[in-house]
Homo-oligomer: A and B are copies of this chain.
Amino acid sequence: MRAKQLMDTKFAYIHANDAVEDVAKVMEEIRRFTCPVVDEDMKLIGWVTSFDITRGLREGIDKISDVMSSADEVETINENAPARLAVIMTADNHYVAVPVLNDNNQVVGIIRSCDIVKLLSALYDIKVSSIYEAMQKQLKGVSWEDLMEASAAVSRRATGRKITPEEYENNINNSTFGEAIWATGGLENFFAGLISVGELVLARRVGRARK
């Protein structure tokens, strides 16, 4: 995934000669805490946050050019850069938004932290049962019942607590990948558990084939 696939292309932009008060109204209307300042060619020349706007209003400063940060103080990302760079920039610096530029330094979009949350949480929110479905599809000749039985057996071994295949199925129908990761203590543990299940179910398949 590239930055351009994650960015919001319906962003607002402002000009250096705009009045602080007018920009305040625009940002209130479109509900954006940050805004790129561009020249007539859409090249990034500055960046404005709500903090610049409140300071401008408090101190009676009229022009955006007198409150904005200059472009060289603003971290940007190229539209063809990996989207994960924008995620890392946002996570490391608590950015609310990162301007996306093309090779001509023109602003073509904005990546917002809420868009990143949406993207990442979609991953986080996948049902655990859908991972088991993919597993069953992959393991030819293994029924869903075999899989739930093996899963309950592995879970009993790992936790020492009794659990029936039906209870196990109910659990994975009602939990997400994110919850499973927290419950097992990390992604690696979660996958290791699934591998155990795969191992057991395959051993049982081999056992049946020999009979």
The count of residues in chain A whose C-beta lies closer than 8 Å to any C-beta of chain B is 64
Copies of this protein in the assembly total 2
What are the residues of chain B within 8 A of A187 when measuring CB–CB? Answer: 123, 126, 131, 177
For A31, the chain B residues whose CB sits under 8 A away are 51
A131 touches B51 (CB 8 A): no
Contact of A120 among B1, B53, B120, B198 (CB under 8 A): B120
Hey, which chain B residues are within 8 Å of A24, CB to CB? Answer: 54-55, 57-58
Question: Contacting chain B: which of A88-96, A101-109, A163-171?
Answer: A88-96
Mask, A28-61, CB within 8 Å of B = 1, is 1001010000000000000000110111011000
User: Which residues of the partner chain B approach A96 to less than 8 Å between Cβ atoms?
Assistant: 33, 96, 113-114
CB-CB under 8 A for A117 and B139, given A28-B54, A33-B50, A51-B28: no
A176 proximal to B (CB < 8 A): yes
A54-B57, A126-B188 provided; 16 other pairs, C-beta below 8 A? A24-B55, A24-B58, A50-B50, A57-B58, A84-B176, A84-B179, A88-B121, A91-B122, A92-B118, A96-B96, A120-B121, A130-B188, A191-B194, A194-B195, A195-B195, A206-B206
Q: Which residues does A use to contact B, with CB under 8 Å?
A: 1, 21, 24-25, 27-28, 31, 33, 50-51, 53-55, 57-58, 82, 84, 87-88, 90-92, 94-96, 112-114, 116-118, 120-126, 130-131, 133-135, 137-139, 176-179, 181-182, 187-189, 191-192, 194-196, 198-199, 202, 206
